[in-house]
């Protein structure tokens, strides 16, 4: 009987998906092979012939048709697979067993390769499958042809009368521009948002308002169910920061607006950021988006990244970056404290240089024609600051010092946590880090800690965030869909060790 062969790398990802992704070690491996086949068939380009070459069969494995397609079993999908591949390759595979086996193996191996490059073990595999296979399926759960009438009826139930003037569909949100009949309906609308959400069957997903410049015209942002979301890929980060951040010192793309437009801000203006959200809210992906933005836009001589990851999970991909501050990712809390103290010394050195040169900040210093030395901007990113402070409370002091005085010297902080409490983010840290990003949290009190206002508890998760930049109103942003392949693509385009 013909067999499907895999190599050692294939077997590693199979085991990883079965043991960690599906979290069922007793599940047979051929389940992963079937998922890999489906993953490959999504790609309209035919798999490469190179996938036929398996140099390390000894360390790989072999699978019979009985395992892969259920041949001869009660649930036999062999003819279904033949039909799918026949349509895909535009050939008759019912009478050509050899070609069928070759193509089936190519697709399975390509699907495994794509799993290997696009799924992060630290991320939920079931959510990954949902986004990859089902996110483009359109379900008319909330919206249909008469939805504008449904919105008007729902508004009447909370005592608000108005007419839908226009509809804007964003990646996750549909914005209904409603012309209110009476100005006093606005207060009723504000107070009735929770009831409106209930009437529309949105469960815990919140309804947000967007004010316009037109009298009595208000935007009502209605969240859609995840099955109707349009994922925003990360492959345009480089283009977006070049176009929208042309005049920024450290442009960062946090994601896209409710309308689907890229949102880019300048880290040197913020000048530090506190990022918080519960597990699964998209916090780590948000950090990756910031890192990729910085790497794509800055030369190795103009930027140093100080990456601190006490969880030892998210930042390991950047180990070989040539512009890492201290030449490696920091995992240990003792090393983290030493690095932060070194940054204080760097801060003081730069302050003296700026003072001696009679300039206010590093931007002015760089413009002095006689200056030879280069002070690169340093961005300190801590993946879980709460864990770090729990292990070494003395770390808070250098963090506060850097937050207070780092801006002028070109040292910026991005502090992230999944536990936004008053102990982690309090006092001098709060006053010196006015720019915040709140992803989904469990309680309104956590939203207040992050943003000084509620709202984050009503977000829809998976990168949905409220972003508060100093001097601006809170904006709702949807994070990008960053995969391991995007990180690898960025790293391959930047110079490494």
State the burial class of residue 230 (Cβ atoms within 10 Å of its Cβ: 0-12, 13-18, 19+): middle
Asked if pLDDT for residue 136 goes beyond 60, the answer is no
Asked if pLDDT for residue 170 goes beyond 50, the answer is yes
Rounded distance between C-alpha atoms, residue 64 and residue 188, angstroms = 65
Please, which contacts does 295-300 make with residues 24 or more away whose CB atoms are closer than 8 Å? 295/321, 295/490, 295/491, 295/494, 296/237, 296/238, 296/241, 296/490, 296/493, 296/494, 297/238, 297/241, 297/242, 297/245, 297/250, 297/251, 298/250, 298/377, 300/494, 300/495
CATH number at residue 82: 1.10.1220
Strands 273-276 and 411-417 turn out to be parallel
Span 34-82, pLDDT tens digits: 999 999 998 888 898 889 988 766 778 999 999 999 988 888 999 999 9
245, 170: one domain: no
Decide if 441 is inside a domain: yes
Decide if 128 is inside a domain: no
Decide if 70 is inside a domain: yes
Span 76-114, pLDDT tens digits: 999 999 999 999 998 999 989 999 999 999 999 999 998
Region 217-231 average pLDDT: 87
Last residue of a domain, one of 102, 118, 134: 118
The parent domain of residue 190 ranges over 147-228
Strands 173-180 and 217-223 turn out to be antiparallel
> Across the strands, what pairs with 176?
167, 220
173, 264: one domain: no
282, 359: one domain: yes
Residues 6+ apart with CB under 8 A from 23: none
219, 283: one domain: no
Strands (E) across 66-195 are located at: 162-169, 173-180
176, 317: one domain: no
Decide if 260 is inside a domain: yes
Answer yes or no: are the C-beta atoms of 471 and 270 closer than 8 Å: no
Share of the chain above pLDDT 90, in %: 58
Span 311-366, pLDDT tens digits: 888 899 999 898 999 889 999 999 999 999 999 999 999 999 999 999 999 989 98
Rounded distance between C-alpha atoms, residue 246 and residue 438, angstroms = 26
CATH number at residue 212: 3.30.980.40
Asked if pLDDT for residue 415 goes beyond 80, the answer is yes
Cα 432 from chain centroid?
A: 26
Question: Please, what is the Cα angle at 24 between 315 and 70, to 5 degrees?
Answer: 120
Answer yes or no: are the C-beta atoms of 47 and 107 closer than 8 Å: yes
Asked if pLDDT for residue 140 goes beyond 70, the answer is no
Region 237-250 average pLDDT: 90
Answer yes or no: are the C-beta atoms of 67 and 61 closer than 8 Å: no
Decide if 300 is inside a domain: yes
Region 215-242 average pLDDT: 87
Q: What DSSP designation does 449 have?
A: H
Share of the chain above pLDDT 70, in %: 95
Region 289-311 average pLDDT: 90
Q: How confident is the model at residue 221 (pLDDT cuts 50, 70, 90)?
A: very high
State the burial class of residue 135 (Cβ atoms within 10 Å of its Cβ: 0-12, 13-18, 19+): middle
195, 281: one domain: no
Region 280-304 average pLDDT: 90
199, 290: one domain: no
68, 191: one domain: no
> Across the strands, what pairs with 276?
417, 438
Residues 6+ apart with CB under 8 A from 9: 116
Three-class secondary structure assignment of 331-377: CCHHHHHHHHHHHHHHHHHHHHHHHHHCCCCHHHHHCCCCCCCCCCE
Asked if pLDDT for residue 196 goes beyond 60, the answer is yes
Asked if pLDDT for residue 495 goes beyond 60, the answer is no
Answer yes or no: are the C-beta atoms of 25 and 18 closer than 8 Å: yes
324, 198: one domain: no
- Cβ neighbours around 125 below 10 Å, total: 19
421: three-class secondary structure by DSSP: coil
Q: What DSSP designation does 21 have?
A: I
Greater model confidence, 234 or 182 = 182
253, 383: one domain: yes
Rounded distance between C-alpha atoms, residue 120 and residue 64, angstroms = 29
82, 171: one domain: no
Decide if 123 is inside a domain: no
Rounded distance between C-alpha atoms, residue 112 and residue 34, angstroms = 10
Q: How confident is the model at residue 142 (pLDDT cuts 50, 70, 90)?
A: very low
89, 180: one domain: no
Region 190-215 average pLDDT: 87
Last residue of a domain, one of 204, 228, 252: 228
Region 409-413 average pLDDT: 96
Strands 273-276 and 435-438 turn out to be parallel
Answer yes or no: are the C-beta atoms of 281 and 225 closer than 8 Å: no
- Whole-number average pLDDT of the chain: 88
Decide if 22 is inside a domain: yes
Question: Please, what is the Cα angle at 372 between 369 and 376, to 5 degrees?
Answer: 105
Span 431-444, pLDDT tens digits: 999 999 999 999 99
Rounded distance between C-alpha atoms, residue 77 and residue 74, angstroms = 10
- pTM confidence score: 0.72
Answer yes or no: are the C-beta atoms of 152 and 163 closer than 8 Å: yes
Rounded distance between C-alpha atoms, residue 399 and residue 304, angstroms = 17
Domain count, the chain: 3
Q: How confident is the model at residue 236 (pLDDT cuts 50, 70, 90)?
A: confident
Greater model confidence, 367 or 135 = 367
Rounded distance between C-alpha atoms, residue 247 and residue 266, angstroms = 9
Asked if pLDDT for residue 381 goes beyond 50, the answer is yes
Tokens found for residue 9: 């790398």
Strands 464-468 and 435-438 turn out to be antiparallel
Q: What DSSP designation does 25 have?
A: T
CATH number at residue 455: 3.40.50.300
Decide if 140 is inside a domain: no
């Amino acid at each position: 009987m013909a067999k499907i062969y895999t190599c050692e790398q294939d077997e590693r990802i199979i085991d990883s998906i079965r043991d960690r992704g599906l979290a069922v070690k007793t599940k047979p491996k051929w389940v992963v092979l079937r998922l890999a086949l489906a993953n490959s068939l999504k790609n309209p380009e035919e798999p490469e012939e190179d996938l036929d070459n398996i140099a390390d069969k000894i360390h790989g494995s072999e699978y019979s048709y009985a395992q892969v397609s259920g041949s001869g079993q009660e649930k036999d999908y062999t003819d279904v697979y033949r039909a799918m591949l026949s349509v895909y390759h535009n050939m008759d595979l019912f009478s050509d067993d050899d070609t069928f086996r070759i193509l089936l193996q190519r697709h399975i191996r390509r699907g495994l390769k794509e799993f290997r490059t696009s799924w992060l073990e630290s991320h939920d595999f079931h959510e990954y499958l949902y986004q990859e296979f089902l996110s483009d399926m359109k379900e008319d759960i909330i919206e249909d042809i008469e939805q504008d009438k449904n919105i008007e009826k729902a508004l009447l139930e909370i005592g608000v009368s108005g007419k839908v003037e226009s509809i804007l569909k964003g990646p996750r949100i549909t914005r209904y521009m409603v012309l209110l009949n009476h100005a006093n309906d606005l207060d009723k609308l504000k107070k009735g948002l929770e009831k409106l959400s209930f009437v529309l069957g949105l469960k815990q997903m919140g309804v947000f308002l967007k004010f316009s410049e037109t009298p009595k015209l208000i935007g009502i942002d209605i969240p859609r169910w995840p099955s109707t979301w349009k994922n925003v890929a990360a492959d345009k980060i480089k283009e977006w920061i070049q176009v929208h951040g042309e005049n920024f010192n450290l442009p960062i793309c946090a994601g896209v607006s409710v309308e689907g437009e890229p949102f880019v801000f300048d880290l040197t203006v913020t000048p530090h950021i506190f990022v918080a959200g519960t597990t699964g809210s998209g916090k780590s992906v948000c950090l990756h988006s910031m890192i990729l933005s910085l790497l794509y836009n800055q030369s190795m001589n103009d930027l140093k990244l100080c990456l601190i990851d006490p969880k030892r999970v998210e930042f390991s991909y950047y180990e070989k970056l040539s512009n890492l501050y201290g030449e490696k990712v920091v995992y240990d809390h003792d090393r983290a404290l030493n690095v932060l103290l070194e940054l204080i010394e760097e801060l003081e050195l730069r302050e003296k240089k700026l003072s001696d040169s009679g300039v206010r900040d590093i931007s002015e210093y760089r413009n002095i024609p006689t200056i030879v030395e280069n002070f690169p901007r340093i961005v300190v990113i801590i993946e879980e600051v709460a864990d770090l402070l729990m292990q070494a409370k003395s770390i808070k002091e250098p963090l506060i010092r850097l937050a207070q005085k780092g801006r002028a010297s070109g040292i910026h902080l991005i502090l992230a946590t999944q536990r936004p409490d008053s102990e982690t983010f309090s006092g001098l840290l709060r006053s010196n880090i006015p720019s915040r990003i709140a992803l989904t949290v469990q309680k309104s009190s956590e939203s207040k800690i992050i943003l000084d206002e509620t709202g984050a508890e009503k977000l829809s998760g998976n990168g949905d965030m409220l972003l508060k930049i100093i001097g601006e109103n809170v904006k709702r942003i949807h994070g990008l869909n960053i995969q391991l392949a995007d990180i690898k693509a960025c790293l391959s385009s930047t110079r490494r060790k």
